[in-house]
Structure 1
Amino acid sequence: MKTSQLLRQLSTAAQRTLGEPHVLTRPSAFIRPLSPNAVAGPSRPSSIGTDFQLYPDFFGEEESRQLLAMALWKLDRVDSTRRRRRNKGLWEESEAGGAGLQSLFHGEYGFEEGHYDSVIHQYRETLLSSFPPPDKAWPDLSALMKRIYDLLPVSEPGGSYTQTGAVRGTHEQTPRGTSTHLLHLAPHGAILPHVDNLEASGSVIIGTSLGAERILRLKEKGGEEGWDIRLPSGSLYIQRDTVRYQYDHSILPYDDTGSAWQGKKLEPGHRISLMVRVSWSPGLRVCVRSDHLGRPCSVRPAMRMLLRMLVMEHGTVLYQGTAALRQSADTSLMVQVKSASNA
């Protein structure tokens, strides 16, 4: 038996137990408060201790390698720069270089300089609505993704963070009522402080970090209190409710003084985050609104981003409603929206 096969079997068989999560209200080697009041301030909501949970080693290196290989394959499919250079046989060494998982990053990527809302810089992204075909690079993909989806709450809101398996996908599709998003952040990229759009998804988000370490900063809106969280490769965090909507969150650039831990600067590198968001209602619902004269209104920015990713992958978007065919008012998007009943 090959060593790689043995490692996979041992890793899968072990199915490491979650153990106690690292939380904001207890001392942790992966969490540091921005001020002494961050942990026990008088205005701290009681739920702050459960609204953010971190599992630093949720996935081992071999498991992370499989997820990372799948994510890169998926991202490359919608990256025009990668396609052009691959067709011409042109490849370059990664600017990050290095060993381990960083060795999977190579060549030139078509990074976007800025997001539609100027929050994310130097990135590329896509929506994972279906799993790629089986491949020797990710033989355990379904089982690995199931471990993430099994952490989703039983219901929204009020679910508990236990491995219930209540929200399930198939071998080809991600679970209904969720969206799975892949975000590749360049070594020179960053995510600026922001609060998620409540209309874009529900109150729960699960993030898996793959590749280079980064610092996630949670900072009170309009204040100076908060936390820095070190996100190693293979880590997983669950963020919900108070922490998600009352705290700005950001990924610090490597040249920020906060991108250090215990006095040592983090080593720059590529990072991919696999984000699972809970939708407010089962299935994706796209609603193109009209004004009182029946004219279509602009699609909201958060929905525009989601539509673009869906169009890149599928060409069309299903619409769950009564309209047979609609078109977005954003002419640059050119989205054909079909009725789910006719699909």
Structure 2
Amino acid sequence: MIPNVIRRVEFQYCKLHFLLRTRPLSHVMYSGSTGLVTPVADPSLLDCSRAAAQDVDGFAIISNFVSSEEEEQLMVDIRRTLRGRKYLYDHWDGAIEGYSETEKSNWSESNTPVIQRLKAVAAAAVTDKVVVPLEQVHVLDLAEDGHIKPHVDSVKFCGEVICGISLLSDSVMQLQHEEYPDRWIHALLSRFSLYIMRGVIRYKYTHAIPTNENSVFKGERITKQRRVSVISRTQPVHS
């Protein structure tokens, strides 16, 4: 059964690769229920300043990337891996409060197709060069009162593409250009969705998951509960 699943993933990857070559990221959506990749613009999930419009194609949200059943199976694996760990309120680079995390390469048979689908999207997100997803997937468990401060991920640990599946809760991601205050993007990371970050968004914009007091999207307060993200990053670029 697994080889057939892998073949379907490879086929979906080919379709996704074609779409990413011919359309901006904001026009690529994945339907987890049908298993089809189709070009569908969903502007309701993104809000940006006029100045940031030139950069927004480097960020996209793919709705319903996983189903509720796939979320449940992923969480079985994740709970087993994180069992006994307490939430931490300090981080080695000061970027996160109220979290638990791990790097994970071994997944159950039922979750392997989802992880391969995630990595296929990461590999297809850049078309002018070859990017290779890291073998290990980053799992970040953020407590209800946890938050991620504005930061840019270190180039020492990951390359041009970052893709993350959002589990258990909706949340808001705030992106801000490091040099130009008038360039900002707010993204509604809905439960079951996947976000894709590449290019100038990856390197020049900080990204953050704010506290619930500051979690607002298009004027509406979005209350984040416990949120788990499953993140694929491409290999660092060594000059």
User: For residue 161 of structure 2, what is the aligned residue in structure 1?
Assistant: 204
For the pair 1:152 / 2:160, whether they are aligned, the reply is no
For the pair 1:232 / 2:190, whether they are aligned, the reply is yes
**Counterpart of 2:221 in structure 1: which amino acid?**
K
Q: In the superposition, relative to structure 1, how do residues 244 and 112 fare at CA in structure 2: closer, same or farther (>3 Å)? A: same
Cα pair 1:193 1:248 within 8 Å, conserved: yes
Q: Which structure is higher in helix share?
A: 2
Give the whole-Å Cα distance in 2 for the aligned partners of 1:145 and 1:193.
27
Q: Which structure is higher in strand share?
A: 2
User: For residue 243 of structure 1, what is the aligned residue in structure 2?
Assistant: 201
Q: Which has the higher contact order (CA 8 A, sep 6+)?
A: 2
TM-score, with length taken from structure 2: 0.76
Give the whole-Å Cα distance in 2 for the aligned partners of 1:113 and 1:131.
27
Cα pair 2:56 2:185 within 8 Å, conserved: no
Provide the aligned length of Structure 1 versus Structure 2: 207
Give the whole-Å Cα distance in 2 for the aligned partners of 1:131 and 1:38.
38
**Unpaired runs of at least 5, structure 1:** 1-11, 77-81, 83-108, 135-139, 161-165, 168-174, 282-343
TM-score, with length taken from structure 1: 0.55
**Counterpart of 1:151 in structure 2: which amino acid?**
V
Q: In the superposition, relative to structure 1, how do residues 53 and 263 fare at CA in structure 2: closer, same or farther (>3 Å)? A: closer
Local SS of the residue matching 2:117: helix
Q: In the superposition, relative to structure 1, how do residues 236 and 155 fare at CA in structure 2: closer, same or farther (>3 Å)? A: closer
Give the whole-Å Cα distance in 2 for the aligned partners of 1:21 and 1:207.
19
1:40-51 alignment, distance < 5 Å:
44=54, 48-51=55-58
User: For residue 32 of structure 1, what is the aligned residue in structure 2?
Assistant: 47
Q: In the superposition, relative to structure 1, how do residues 131 and 237 fare at CA in structure 2: closer, same or farther (>3 Å)? A: same
Structure 1 runs (4+) deviating above 6 angstroms are none
1:145-294 alignment, distance < 5 Å:
145-153=115-123, 158-159=128-129, 177-224=134-181, 225-256=183-214, 259-280=215-236
Give the whole-Å Cα distance in 1 for the aligned partners of 2:166 and 2:224.
14
Q: In the superposition, relative to structure 1, how do residues 156 and 18 fare at CA in structure 2: closer, same or farther (>3 Å)? A: closer
User: For residue 39 of structure 2, what is the aligned residue in structure 1?
Assistant: 20
**Counterpart of 1:198 in structure 2: which amino acid?**
V
1:302-317 alignment, distance < 5 Å:
none
Give the whole-Å Cα distance in 2 for the aligned partners of 1:30 and 1:254.
18
